[in-house]
Amino acid sequence: MDLKFNNSRKYISITVPPKTQTMSPHIKSIDDIVVLGINLSRFNKLTQFFICVAGVFVFYLIYGYLQELIFSMEGFKSYGWYLTLVQFAFYSIFGLIELQLIQDKRRRIPGKTYMIIAFLTVGTMGLSNTSLGYLNYPTQVIFKCCKLIPVMLGGVFIQGKRYNIADVSAAVCMSLGLIWFTLADSTIAPNFNLTGVILISLALCADAVIGNVQEKAMKLHNASNSEMVLYSYSIGFVYILLGLTCTSGLGPAVTFCSKNPIQTYGYAFLFSLTGYFGISFVLALIKIFGALLAVTVTTGRKAMTIVLSFMFFAKPFTFQYVWSGLLVVLGIFLNVYSKNMDKIRLPSLYDLINKTLEMRKSRTLAQTV
């Protein structure tokens, strides 16, 4: 159907395509969420959730093991920023390769937004890697578990979100668990250093902000995971390269790694590959379910990472680690419960009292008979 209106040599033409004409691939796939070639949009929400959780756990558990393995090498602990530089380089290459496999290769998110995201990503991963030179790996991980609090604050101030009492209780439990774990570590760990606490705390703040910024940008511009990874990490690579060059930290790191290429670049490749796969599933979680649930899943993964760290790497141990870890797990449960209150109904205090009284009455009647 064509409609034309002529007025002073101006006209408007409206064309309606026939039903047999197909829509463009971009329009058809605008809501598709593809992770490592898997189109999650074909599955229901529950299946999407389990696929993302499985991807996060499998790849990030390997990622954590390789990260601690690299930093356990003698003399490497002072080169955390160089490891981050190599990691960002691999992430940029992986993102470029994945972006070539999708139909729509246009950049959707503005460059200024990517510069902010890249800066936060550098702060998150660079400070986190560097903190391992001063802290036990389980202590660094338990600090990351406390990310829920700044994520909630970021959600309030950046996106205007509001959280219920269960979310607040979860944050309190995680905070108490973190404090207890840190106190235990400062007592028995030989390499505990306050500098590491400051570094990981700054990384925690950056990590909290980045989840909310990524969620807002990806939903607003409908950007793909591969686009987010490519631009944020490639810009971050430039940031770190300039920083290392200005501080003269690039030369010594290159010299050290060239003497141990397998233990450094080889492990760094596997470390980056599993981290890239893991971050792809995390971004999918953020896009589908939001930043808070994504943090809850990654926090549960970190709890398992701590257990594996004690199993594979020798380090001091105290049962305070267990009790503080259980507090963090309780916080995770409260957070998951708050997201599923309509499906999970816990008994109230009034119901528990009534049930106890009924049980006592039945016992009394049975004894009387």
pLDDT, tens digit (0-9, with 9 covering 90-100), for 196-209: 888 888 888 887 77
pLDDT score, position 15 = 45
pLDDT score, position 248 = 82
Q: Is the pLDDT of residue 313 over 60?
A: yes
pLDDT score, position 12 = 45
* H, E, C per residue of the chain: CEEECCECCECCEEECCCCCCCCCHHHHCCCCCEECCEEHHHCCHHHHHHHHHHHHHHHHHHHHHHHHHHHCCCCCHHHHHHHHHHHHHHHHHHHHHHHHCCCCCCCCCCHHHHHHHHHHHHHHHHHHHHHCCCCCHHHHHHHHHCCHHHHHHHHHHHHCCCCCHHHHHHHHHHHHHHHHHHHHHHHHCCCCCHHHHHHHHHHHHHHHHHHHHHHHHHHHHCCCHHHHHHHHHHHHHHHHHHHHHHCCCHHHHHHHHHHCHHHHHHHHHHHHHHHHHHHHHHHHHHHHHCHHHHHHHHHHHHHHHHHHHHHHCCCCCCHHHHHHHHHHHHHHHHHHHHHCCCCCCCCCHHHHHHHHHHHHHHHHHHHHC
pLDDT, tens digit (0-9, with 9 covering 90-100), for 16-50: 444 443 333 333 344 567 777 677 778 888 888 88
Contact 296, 148 (CB under 8 A): yes
Helix axes 267-289, 80-100, angle to 10 degrees: 60
Q: What is the overall mean pLDDT for the chain?
A: 75
pLDDT score, position 241 = 92
User: For 9, left (φ over 0), alpha (ψ -120 to 50), or beta?
Assistant: left
Q: Which residues contact 206 (CB under 8 A, 6 or more apart)?
A: 120, 121, 123, 124, 127
Q: Which residues contact 238 (CB under 8 A, 6 or more apart)?
A: none
Contact 183, 197 (CB under 8 A): no
Residue range 239-253: mean pLDDT, rounded: 88
pLDDT score, position 22 = 37
pLDDT, tens digit (0-9, with 9 covering 90-100), for 126-167: 888 888 878 777 777 777 766 667 777 767 776 677 777 877
